Amino acid sequence: MKSLRFTLVLAGALCVFPAAAQEAKLTLKDALGRDKVMVNCSSCHSIDYVGMNSPIFDRAGWEGSVNKMIKAFGAPISAEDAATIVSYLAENYGRKPDAAVKK
């Protein structure tokens, strides 16, 4: 019985540790508002979500995401901090508009 329990624990550990080792660790750009993102956003989820969403979200997308966190998930972020967070994310991780096609 002990060997079965040990085998199950070992198998579980082998499944969990490689996944944790592969998790990316994003280091946020040093700019005004970084501290607000670190304090408010990382208290609920990984900061890696910033990197995953940066190709998708423009300013409106980041604003919608921050508002969703506040309204749908109850994130305790003040209006002032929310504005700072949106500005930081849009300026540093926002999708850039496509360049105009020249004729």
| Extents of the domains making up the chain | 24-93
pTM: 0.71
> 98 near 55, Cβ under 8 Å?
no
Instruction: Count CB-CB contacts under 10 A for residue 83.
Output: 15
Q: What's the rounded mean pLDDT across residues 15-25?
A: 53
Q: Tell me how far apart the alpha carbons of residues 53 and 93 are, in angstroms, rounded to a whole number.
A: 8
Burial 29-65 (b: 16+ CB within 10 A, else e): eeeebbebbeebbeeeeeeeebeebbeebeeebbbeb
Which stretch of DSSP H or E encloses residue 5? helix 2-21
Domain 24-93: give its CATH superfamily.
Cytochrome c-like domain (1.10.760.10)
| % residues pLDDT > 90 (the chain) | 66
Residue with the bigger pLDDT between 4 and 99: it is 4
CA nearest to 46, candidates 21, 18, 27: 27
